[in-house]
Amino acid sequence: MARFGFGSATNSSAYSAPNPATEAFRVLRSNLAVTLPEVDDPIVVVTSALPREGKTSTCVSLAQSLAAAGSRVALVDLDLRDPSSHTMLGAHNNAGVSDVLLERKSVEDCLQYVEFGVTASARPTGMCFLSAGHSADTPTELLSTPRIRRLLERLAGVTDIVLIDAPPVLAVADTLVIGRLASGAILVVEARRTPVPAVKKAKDMLTRNQTRLLGVVLNKFKPTAAGQTYSSAAGMSGSWD
Ligand SMILES: Nc1ncnc2c1ncn2[C@@H]1O[C@H](COP(=O)(O)OP(=O)(O)OP(=O)(O)O)[C@@H](O)[C@H]1O
Ligand SMILES: [Mg+2]
């Protein structure tokens, strides 16, 4: 049922200087709309080659940017080993994905409505959040059950887009398992830190896994250091090909 609502965010004046980070996520949002036009219920994984490159920050900011533009967004934390989306969102992790998958809780019990509003057309917009939940003993196995597919498809059916905060590709097998359930992946790369071979390896692993690579976000990019005048301080996005 879903379509992205990719209108412009309304919280900035045409004449005010754009916040570079906000602007970067607008660009990413637009690129996503161009990359996924044919997908009805998009499920997008945000990952990176290595830990600490900025997956969670990117996922949360992209979700907020989409919600600000009028989309209904579900953000799901599938970093079951080291979840942190809830902290960044000011939400809790008392119960979440692992509890749903282990049938200890219902989805309704676990969903947190981080930002929800109603547009002029009375269409509910905003962002709901499913945290990772209680730490699971065997995350890869838990993510391999058919229940996770049903959970994601259910969320995708009632929102415009599901964004998944995932672990790093080169660290654990979880992301490859998650990637098979998704419409595609965004690869976050930390500028000046992540070695190119690690990025290439992560890209190859995703491609071999038949996970469509939607684009790359260059995070922690400093345009002044790169000698650019107009660009994003937070990142740039683009297609891999
Ligand atoms: N664009 C940015 N500019 C400055 N600092 C950033 C930026 N993006 C992320 N950070 C910082 O880098 C650190 C790692 O970010 P984040 O938690 O988003 O990464 P991650 O890839 O999700 O990490 P993990 O692998 O542990 O899940 C955090 O301290 C965060 O505040
Ligand atoms: Mg993270």
The upper half-sphere exposure of residue 223, i.e. CA atoms within 13 Å in the direction of its Cβ, equals 12
pLDDT of residue 36: 84
pLDDT of residue 79: 98
Q: Confirm or reject: Cβ of 61 under 6 Å from ligand 1.
A: no
Q: Over pLDDT 70: what percentage of the chain?
A: 81
CA dist 177 to 101, 148, 183, Å?
15, 10, 13
pLDDT of residue 121: 65
16 CA from centroid of ligand 1 (Å): 28
Q: Over pLDDT 90: what percentage of the chain?
A: 66
pLDDT at 239 over 50: no
3-state secondary structure of 188: strand
Q: Confirm or reject: Cβ of 220 under 6 Å from ligand 1.
A: yes
Strands 112-118 and 235-238: unpaired
**Which pLDDT band, with edges at 50, 70 and 90, does 215 fall under?**
very high
User: What are the tens digits of pLDDT across the range 76-124?
Assistant: 999 999 999 999 999 999 999 999 999 999 999 999 998 776 666 665 6
Q: How far apart are CA 16 and CA 22, in angstroms?
A: 13
User: What are the tens digits of pLDDT across the range 46-73?
Assistant: 999 999 999 999 999 999 999 988 899 9
User: What structural domains and CATH numbers belong to the chain?
Assistant: 30-225 (3.40.50.300)
Please give the radius of gyration of the chain, using alpha carbons only, rounded to the nearest integer.
17
Q: Which ligand is nearest to the CA of 58?
A: 1
